[in-house]
Structure 1
Amino acid sequence: MTTNKNNLTTSWGAPVGDNQNSMTAGSRGPTLIQDVHLLEKLAHFNRERVPERVVHAKGAGAHGYFEVTNDVSKYTKAEFLSEVGKRTPLFVRFSTVAGENGSADSVRDPRGFAVKFYTEEGNYDLVGNNTPVFFIRDAIKFPDFIHTQKRHPVTHLKNPNAVWDFWSLSPESLHQVTILMSDRGIPATYRHMHGFGSHTFKWVNAEGEGVWIKYHFKTEQGIKNLTEEVGTKIAGENPDYHTQDLYEAIEKGDFPAWKLYVQIMPLEDADTYRFDPFDVTKVWSQKDYPLIEVGRMVLNRNPENYFAEVEQATFSPGTLVPGIEPSPDKMLQGRLFAYADAHRYRVGANHNSLPINRPKAEVHNYQRDGQMRFDSNGGGSVYYEPNSLGGPQESPENKTTAYPVSGSADSTAYDHNDHYTQAGDLYRLLSEEERTRLVSNIVGSMKQVTKDEIKLRQIQHFYKADPEYGTRVAEGLGLSVPQEV
């Protein structure tokens, strides 16, 4: 007899006779270990939470599509960008960075902006933020940086001393700190913010010719932000405000959309540009490399199950397709390993086989076994390579293109160390009202720092970016700009 579709069953499909009362030895006796349904329910409940992401733990997601609106085939052979009008399904996850899974949406923090394109050649993940730059430019500093954003190991409280101590000793962070403390530090919603690939990537066309590129998603809803006061008020009243806003907008048919643009730099310009184009703490001037339209992203379908889709979605900048390659950006190079490794730990070695991550393209490889292998595991097919049994083989035409490298194997820093020009330019672009709010936000945060030494060291960075910038912060903190600057 088959199980009625309305019957409650165990995980192995057997019907459950009683889901209200556990088996006991008599009405008052102890519970019996033979009640396998009870044991399964409790054991599964204990394991319902996968470890939350170390960063980007709190997030929201949606399905949609990407449509090419401009011919860029002369720059990249990526199939999903091959012709105007071509549509590719995608999934997007927006997130805060530093907070835990239950933290508030409307805090001052960068926002993750991760896009998974389900292309005909496999998945392509574009894992960025709502800012064009980042705090650091070498992955070796990332664990230390994130530790400063987390909780103190003794008090278990956020630690402004650690935050500003690290930033003051890492002047490359100044550009991103200025953005974070500006009006754009608290987006009004996920729909009202831009997205960026942030890193430099390489596009390669069918002839093997390459260019360096940067991605820019421009929101069609317009930029809207929250003040510190409003953000704090919403955090107390509705900590899931951004999550709710995205879901409800899509549910009522108000589909958010973004235009995708790229900046394109000839390969040879990387050696002569006034900033290192692979330094993720810097931007390329749009006067030097104007935005070129690529396509349009629309989000039009909410997840059917948050855990299965948003929580189990895994993104990695190393998930690439032919025609799109990494650059020697030191931060990107570290992320190529770290993101996929985090998912192998968090979700499992077979995370790419889950429905939300599984590519539309067929997968042929020799990876076998591992926890939660829930497909045929390759069946009886050949399981090693090279082989003479007709198994999948590499396609030389899809090798990544070469770029020249030189020098000694050593722990090397970037050659360019101008951390002040772009931060100062950004400050001077702001209106007087925006500068006032920027300084107020910085002063409010730095007042919590207990050591004047840290405050004075950071004030020097602000002053070097723009004397007015440093002076106003110093005055707000009741300090003087150090004489040495």
Structure 2
Amino acid sequence: MSEQNNIQKLTTASGKPYYEHENSLTAGPRGPILLEDFILHEKLAHFNRERIPERVVHAKGTGAYGKFTVTHDITKYTKAKVFSEIGKQTDVFLRFSTVGGEKGSADSERDPRGFALKFYTEDGNWDIVGNNTPVFFIKDPKKFPDFIHTQKRDPRTNTKSATMMWDFWSLNPESLHQVMILMSDRGTPVSYRHMHGFGSHTFAFINKDNERHFVKFHFKTQQGIKNFSDAEAGQMKGVDADQAQRDLVEAIDRGDFPKWTLKVQIMTEAEAATYKWNPFDVTKVWSQKDFPLIEVGELELNHIPDNYFAHVEQAAFAPAHLVDGIGFSPDKMLQGRILGYTDAQRYRLGANYEQIPVNRCPFAVNNYQRDGAMRMDGNGGSNPNYFPNSFDNIRADEAYKEPAQNLGNVVADWYDRNAPGEDDHYTQPGDLYRLMTTDEKAATVSNIIGAMSGIAGPKRDEIINRQLCHFFRADIGLGMAIAQGLGVNISAHAGSMQPAATM
């Protein structure tokens, strides 16, 4: 095939081929530009919108794809398919970051490092959104905006402020554990490859018998820990502000794939109830003497994305992204992040952010979410956008129901809103009908018949009969009048005519 045949035509975003990419349409060679030049409009308008809002925290970062391989059996603790058998491999994407700096800040700043990992499992995407430290500065999500404000810029001077930081820390002694880590050389890692990663929060494992254990995740670097001294970190800011980004890219490009060993700590519910520390306090660790590390598997990064923005910048992580066999705990900071992170991603990337390739589950996704900016699939086609319905075959699988949580004086569960004692939906509607005058009854019946006459399609009779059963249970006379008006054989509903008190 000739080189000419391989040439691709330059086109607009809508696919129209065009030629004048470098010269604007003008009235004469030196005249003003004409409004007609829509190519100019498209180029400038898209350019003005190339920057999406940067992350409020963790704005500066890098990322890579890789794989996770199970090396040890932990199926007695969790039914999560990602851990189902030794040797099982799962594709992953990992984003590293600093926390407080903007996108143009230096990689060697004294700061915690983000360690956000996405597993693409057959039960959906699972995110561990952690740091390179096992604890955090605060333990209640209401403090999070205030804390982050102290790590950003002073409202008056627009500079970083030691006063703001230490004022907040001095007023919140719970921060001391993390402050001690931050102020050690662990606060300035040499590279993302040479640091550990932690889930930080307490999560839950649920096994095939619906038994719950609490768990903490530890990713131990196989490259060894390397940190800058304070002087070295300061010098590196001036030498190469993107040093950690560059290090990861160059290491993977030369085949030096970084690896981490995943280990977990396991705590029973009974142990959690009596442990000397609150096991759900993210400012504290679990003693490894009390709860030894259990090896699980190996994480390897082996592929740098071909486009930073498409993959790393648009990557969206959230602690809300769990899979069957992994659950939450009463960790207050974790509970707050369940809302905060998904909300941040919807603001930054749009309601359909999980359809962006880096965030998309590679396996089946079935739901009733529709519309919104940048919808990237068929938007559900002609399928129903509500549940339950009489038309599709999407069903909630009871095998994925999670066990209740005993929280001491109360049990947290997904309680049936129509459980016994909450399931009389007919007495009061029937009483209302019986309170109506003869004319009011006639008008109501007529209105219902008129509205239900609009039901159409192959499920028409099924829907009408189901609704008639409700009317019969409320009042037999009401059901009979509506059935007659719709031309339905009343004898077919004889078994549904019992009054509400006998249901």
**Bin of the TM-score, shorter chain as denominator length:** 0.7 to 0.9
Residue 227 of structure 1: aligned partner = 229
The equivalent position to 2:188 in structure 1, one of 181, 186, 189, is 186
Instruction: Return the letter of the residue paired with 2:30.
Output: R
1:348 to 322, 347, 350: 350
1:28 alignment partner in structure 2: 30
2:175 aligned to 173, 179, 184, which one? 173
Query: How many Å separate the matches in 1 of 2:108 and 2:180?
Result: 18
Counterpart of 1:282 (choices 277, 281, 284) is 284
Q: CA deviation at 1:237?
A: 1.1
Output aligned runs, 1:18-417, within 5 Å.
18-406=20-408
Distance 1:406 1:212 in 2: 16
CA distance in 2, matches of 1:308, 1:16: 26
> How far apart, in 2, do the equivalents of 1:342 and 1:98 lie?
16
**Cα deviation, residue 270, structure 1:** 1.0
1:141-178 CA distances to partner (integer Å, 9 max, x unpaired)?
A: 00000000010111001111110010001000000000
CA contact (8 A) 2:260 2:298 kept: yes
Tell me how far apart the structure 1 counterparts of residues 149 and 392 of structure 2 sit (CA, whole Å): 49
User: Is the radius of gyration larger for structure 1 or structure 2?
Assistant: 2
Quote how far apart the aligned CAs of 1:374 are. 1.9
Q: Which has the higher contact order (CA 8 A, sep 6+)?
A: 1
- What is the Cα deviation at residue 390 of structure 1? 2.4
Q: State the match for 1:480 in structure 2.
A: none
The match for 1:426 is none
Q: Could you tell me how far 1:407 is from its partner in structure 2?
A: 5.7
Q: CA RMSD in A?
A: 1.1
Deviation at 1:7, TM superposition (A): 1.5
Offset of 1:401 from its aligned partner? 2.0
What is the CA–CA distance in structure 1 between the aligned matches of 2:208 and 2:371, rounded to whole Å? 36
For 2:7 and 2:147, how far apart are their aligned partners in 1? 51
Asked if 2 retains the 8 angstrom alpha-carbon contact of 1:72 and 1:81, the reply is yes
Q: How much does 1:30 deviate?
A: 1.3
Deviation at 1:406, TM superposition (A): 4.7
**Counterparts of 2:74 and 2:31, CA distance in 1:** 73
The question of whether the paired residues in 2 share the 8 Å contact of 1:382 and 1:391 is answered with no
Give unpaired runs (5+ residues) of structure 2: 411-503
Deviation at 1:391, TM superposition (A): 3.9
Displacement of 1:400 in angstroms is 2.2
The residue identity in structure 2 corresponding to 1:167 is W
Superimposed CA distance per residue, residues 330-386 of structure 1 (whole angstroms, 9 cap, x where no aligned partner): 000000000010000001100000000000111100000000112110111111101
Aligned with 2:238: secondary structure?
A: helix
Q: Secondary structure at the match of 2:67?
A: strand
Q: Report matched runs for 1:398-437 at 5 Å.
A: 398-406=400-408
Q: Is the 8 A contact 1:77 1:323 kept in 2?
A: yes
| Moved >3 Å (runs of 4+) | none
Distance across 2 between alignment mates of 1:349 and 1:4: 38
CA distance in 2, matches of 1:30, 1:370: 39
Q: Distance in 2 between the 1:116 and 1:240 partners? A: 23
Q: Which amino acid aligns with 2:17?
A: P
Give the conservation status (yes or no) of the 8 Å contact 1:69–1:84. Answer: yes
Q: Is the CA contact (8 Å cut-off) linking 1:385 and 1:391 kept in structure 2?
A: no
Structure 2 counterpart of 1:172, one-letter code: E
Partner SS, residue 300 of structure 1: strand
Q: Write the distance in 2 (CA, Å) between the matches of 1:255 and 1:354.
A: 26
- CA gap of 1:41–1:4, structure 2 versus 1, over 3 A, is farther
The percentage of aligned residue pairs carrying the same residue is 61
- Please, which moves more after superposition, 375-384 or 184-193? 375-384
Task: Give, in whole Å, the separation in 2 of the partners of 1:236 and 1:16.
Answer: 44
- Matched residues in 2 for 1:128 and 1:80: separation? 19
Q: 2: distance between equivalents of 1:394 and 1:36?
A: 49
Work out the number of aligned pairs and report it.
406
1:466 matched to which residue of 2?
none
Displacement of 1:398: 1.0
Assess, with a 3 A threshold, how the Cα gap between structure 1 residues 115 and 401 changes in structure 2: closer, same or farther. Answer: same
8 Å CA contact 2:68–2:92 kept in 1: the answer is: yes
Q: Aligned partners of 1:392, 1:330: CA distance in 2, in Å?
A: 34
Contact 2:202 2:328 in 1 (8 A): yes
Structure 1 residues 175, 4: CA separation in 2 closer, same or farther (over 3 Å shift)? same
Deviations 1:253-300 (A, max 9, x none): 000000000000011111110000000000000000000001000000
Aligned equivalents of 1:311, 1:12: Cα separation in 2: 24
Cα offset, 1:405, TM superposition: 2.5
- Aligned-pair distance for 1:43? 0.2
The letter of the residue matching 2:222 is: E
**Contact preservation (8 Å) 1:316, 1:335:** yes
The Cα of 1:183 is off from its aligned counterpart by 1.3
Distance 1:230 1:207 in 2: 52
Q: Distance in 2 between matches of 1:97 and 1:166?
A: 17
Check the 8 A contact 1:199/1:332 in 2, yes or no. Answer: yes
Structure 2 letter corresponding to 1:222? G
* Counterpart residue type for residue 317 of structure 1: P
Letter in 1 for 2:99: V
CA contact (8 A) 2:53 2:348 kept: yes
- Evaluate the alpha carbon distance shift between residue 372 and residue 95 of structure 1 in structure 2; reply closer, same or farther with a 3 A threshold: same
- TM-score of the pair, normalised by structure 1: 0.83
SS in 1 for 2:312: helix
Matching residue of 2:15: 13
Deviation at 1:37, TM superposition (A): 0.9
Alpha-carbon displacement from aligned partner over 1:409-438 (angstroms, at most 9, x marks no partner): xxxxxxxxxxxxxxxxxxxxxxxxxxxxxx
Q: How far apart, CA to CA, are the structure 1 residues paired with 2:327 and 2:189?
A: 31
Match of 1:31, SS state, is coil
| Contact 2:383 2:392 (8 Å CA) reproduced | no
